[in-house]
Structure 1
Amino acid sequence: MTYDRSEAELARTLTGAADAAPPPVGDLLAAVHRRRGLRTRRRVQSALAVAGVIAVIGGGTAVARGFFSSGGGEERTLSAATATATATATASASATASAGPTDAAEPRRVAIRPAAEVWPAAVTRIPAKAADGRRYRPVTGLSATELLLIAESSFEKAGRLEVYDTAARRSTVLTDTPAPEGVKGYYVQDVEAGSEYIAWWGETPNNSDKWADFWVVPRAGGTAKQVGQVTGDLSQVERIGVTADSVVWSVTGGGVHRMPLAGGSPEKIAGTDGLHLMSWPWAVDVAKGREGEDEQKNQTKVVNLETGQTAEVNVPDGVQGLRCGPAWCFGTEKDRENNASVVQRVDGSDRKSPPDLSSWGGEHSLARGFGLFQVSGVVGRDARGEEIEDGQAPLAAVYDPVTGTTAGIGKRDSSGGGGYGTGISSSPTSILYWDEGQRQVEKCRKVDATSVPRTPGEPVPTGKVTSCTTTVEGGGKELTVVNLLAVPSTK
């Protein structure tokens, strides 16, 4: 019994199954790029912890399907980069049973240099943990040398906010992030840095309560203050912002609301029906949404909520999933292999399709108008038509639409896998990070064939098979961080 499945097919299968992927094993930061959706629980998940099970039977290979267990109802996602990496590891092992000839010509390389070479001033390394052992989770940059971090008191539970100074190589505590009195199961969600305050919102994600609250602290630090609480539809928070006098947020059904920092009742901002906050004061007409929800829908406008000015998006034929900030849009060209990317200005001008960049799902907008794309690494096909991948290619890339500069993010390990994370700010973040000390390790053992999960209706195998799983080991000491606020201005 043999299943011949290409890396691309495996990647699609893994991506489709990711919502049911099991919890990560080991270090949290194997940090895949997070495509955070509706009410995401901030459960950064390592795609590398998803078991790639290969059953070798009678000299052929069978890639087991349907082996992802339920994750308890939480929304979990698998990034395109790591889906491809996981699929590559699986397909490579499968190919050993029936390898064919390959082209003699040396395949080309992906021409994307690492961010450390492109923007050396923007790349640094920071400790993965605070002095007391709490794990750091990057949020966003506050300046070219200041990084806003969450120090977790337990798995994905924020304990305090810190600022790490990359020039002085030291951190400063801004504030603790307490739970409201009498509220059990409380988790901090998105954090947002405004010009005067840092704000965040929290909820109780593991129960059915429709409830959320908002907190602020001055950027200089101090004691956190709860601004207020909301229930019902107002608690279905999508993104938040903070001004000099209010917390603002959009809800999943559309509409932007505000609440005074001094306390008081929430009010809906006039004219925001159907709008969704991107980064104050900018709002758009496409929901943040779940993975797979309206991914192909194009955005049609960008609204400045302070001035009321609306910019209509010029959407050319043949483009889908277009998402725009105040100046630039990122999307996908239809009917192109590898989900080829398209970049343009809001008015449709300066349209381009950068090579080697894929718009495979997720959010593409980063701070300062930069775009984030996956890098498939596919550079050709062998004599059998199988894809050839550049093992040295980055996992993802940041693209500067003004200059056309592309900078590689993340590092593939020897197995072809790897991972990276994006800061968890509500607005498009300026931080990307990864742990270069982590690596994928494949372990195989003989098991009874009947124990290998399979799709209902498939024949039951017999005898012994080799079952292989891929896990993450190492790391946990340092994070490599790219801070886009330290990239020289291109305006």
Structure 2
Amino acid sequence: MSDLLERDLIRTLRRHGDVTIEVPAGMWERIEGRVRRRRRTRRAALSGGLALAVLAVLAVLVGGWQLARPAARDRGLPPATVVATPTPARIVAPIAPPATPTVRSVQRTWPAAIERMPATAPGGAKVLPVGVLGADQLLVAESGGGERTSALLRYDLRNETFSAVADLAPVGRLSGYFPQGFATDDRTVAWNAEGTDARGRKVTEFVAADLAGGHERLLATVPGELGITELNLVDHRWLVYTGTDGVRRIPLSGNGASEPVPGGRGLHLTSWPWASNLTDPGGSRHAVVSTNLVTGARRTFSAAGMWTRDCVPDWCIGNLRDRATLLGPEPVGRTVSAPRYLVASGRFGGGRFVDAMYGDRNVLWDIKTGRLAGYDARSTVLLNHETCLVAWPDPANRDSLLVFDGAAVR
């Protein structure tokens, strides 16, 4: 489980004493201990929006090879209407895990979804995958100094080669620059980063670069620190994100303007074009309403006593009567409950996998098949509504990483 998800779970258990959640003996102490150890060594550095809306954590270590590329603005694309993008196949009949658990490793459960890549770039800097660029290519982040991510690279799995994508130095004149999350489509990669401007004000910078090569371009700078926020690239023209007042968009033409998405005020972006009123990362007991910001269609998820933690267009995950439960939209409001041995952290990955714990083991619940698969607690997890990446050291070769891509599971 990632640091961010662990902190979410701890905060929820502490703040909401009226919600009874059965947890295995000693799990609390184990989670707290892991959080303390990890907090001393690294900071949560990225989210979902690999369209992460994610929830995600990137561990970056000291490295050397940085990419120097001049920054420039690009005003090539005119503003356009936001249109819908293809959505993943719907899972209309989720399956609960079996009453008697069978948990194998992720690599044994879905071997065709496992890839291998180097743990370092050619210059020796540590790298970790943060996105998928196609069947044979990964988007990877390269470490800079300390906690800072310095560059984005493309790794070709078949040719086993790295190539430059973008430098992650400030495009504007910011200090304390810290990239947070990344989003990509077949043309562009974009990210947001916190920093301090020349007047000492905290701001968030949104930047994009062409995957085919070219300069990084500053899209907009907005007041305040957004931290880890959902990012989606839409129709090759817009970067859509969750701001402090709801869902907003910035044209990829780079004219510097951030504007509200119609109908998105007060909502949290899940996976474009859907957004919901579930804005508290700790979850909510109130009914959840998901809105399609293109068509205006709404779906309401409501069950008496349900503590809802996360939603995709067809299902919400939460706790109901002490059990991890999937809840469908009204009017039927179907529920699918997991056995009591499973404690769900309440995050979807790829719209299909739920991050959870079985005893002291981190597992993924595949709601399409009911399978449970375990992964190393030391793994780096990029978990959001459209992406489910897990990376961990290859036990057979310390210089390599094994990478699980949930999108490759059929």
TM-score by length of 2: 0.71
C-alpha contact (below 8 Å) 2:353/2:366 kept by paired residues: yes
SS at match of 2:144: strand
Question: Residue by residue, what CA displacement relative to the aligned partner does 1:252-271 show, whole Å, maximum 9, x if unpaired?
Answer: 4x411112222142211222
SS at match of 1:131: coil
Structure-2 change in CA distance of 1:434 and 1:42 (3 Å) = closer
Mapped partners of 1:269, 1:34: distance in 2: 21
Structure-2 change in CA distance of 1:143 and 1:355 (3 Å) = farther
Matches within 5 A, 1:189-228: 189-204=180-195, 209-228=201-220
Q: Counterpart amino acid of 2:342?
A: L
C-alpha contact (below 8 Å) 1:325/1:369 kept by paired residues: no
Mapped partners of 1:34, 1:250: distance in 2: 12
Query: 1:134 aligned to 125, 134, 138, which one?
Result: 125
Cα deviation for residue 172 of structure 1 reads 2.6
C-alpha contact (below 8 Å) 2:47/2:230 kept by paired residues: no
C-alpha contact (below 8 Å) 1:249/1:257 kept by paired residues: yes
Residue number in structure 2 paired with 1:307: 295
Residue number in structure 2 paired with 1:175: 166
Query: 2:367 aligned to 398, 401, 424, which one?
Result: 401
C-alpha contact (below 8 Å) 2:262/2:293 kept by paired residues: no
Cα deviation for residue 125 of structure 1 reads 2.2
Residue number in structure 1 paired with 2:347: 364
Cα deviation for residue 210 of structure 1 reads 2.9
Structure-2 change in CA distance of 1:330 and 1:255 (3 Å) = same
Residue number in structure 1 paired with 2:320: 333
Residue number in structure 2 paired with 1:483: 405
C-alpha contact (below 8 Å) 2:175/2:196 kept by paired residues: no
Mapped partners of 2:380, 2:393: distance in 1: 9
C-alpha contact (below 8 Å) 2:60/2:126 kept by paired residues: no
Mapped partners of 1:241, 1:216: distance in 2: 12
The aligned length equals: 341
Listed as ranges, the gaps of 5+ residues in structure 2 are 1-22, 49-54, 62-98
Listed as ranges, the gaps of 5+ residues in structure 1 are 1-6, 47-107, 378-394, 411-417, 439-474
Cα deviation for residue 433 of structure 1 reads 1.7
Matches within 5 A, 1:434-473: 434-435=392-393, 437=395
Cα deviation for residue 176 of structure 1 reads 1.8
C-alpha contact (below 8 Å) 1:299/1:324 kept by paired residues: no
Percent of residue pairs bearing the same amino acid type: 23
Residue number in structure 1 paired with 2:325: 342
Residue number in structure 2 paired with 1:282: 274
Question: Residue by residue, what CA displacement relative to the aligned partner does 1:439-474 show, whole Å, maximum 9, x if unpaired?
Answer: xxxxxxxxxxxxxxxxxxxxxxxxxxxxxxxxxxxx
SS at match of 1:477: strand
Q: Counterpart amino acid of 2:257?
A: S
Mapped partners of 1:128, 1:156: distance in 2: 17
CA RMSD of aligned residues (A): 3.8
TM-score by length of 1: 0.60
Matches within 5 A, 1:73-112: 110-112=101-103
Which structure dedicates a bigger proportion of its chain to strand?
2
Residue number in structure 2 paired with 1:230: 222
Mapped partners of 1:420, 1:124: distance in 2: 14
Mapped partners of 1:276, 1:421: distance in 2: 25
Cα deviation for residue 428 of structure 1 reads 4.5
- 1:120 equivalenced with 2:136 (yes/no): no
Q: Counterpart amino acid of 1:231?
A: P
SS at match of 1:185: strand
Structure-2 change in CA distance of 1:8 and 1:371 (3 Å) = closer
In the TM superposition, structure 1's runs of 4+ consecutive aligned residues that sit over 4 Å from their partners are 7-10, 13-23, 40-46, 205-208
Question: Residue by residue, what CA displacement relative to the aligned partner does 1:198-225 show, whole Å, maximum 9, x if unpaired?
Answer: 1101112799733111111223343221
SS at match of 2:176: coil
Cα deviation for residue 109 of structure 1 reads 8.5
Residue number in structure 2 paired with 1:55: none
- 1:267 equivalenced with 2:267 (yes/no): no
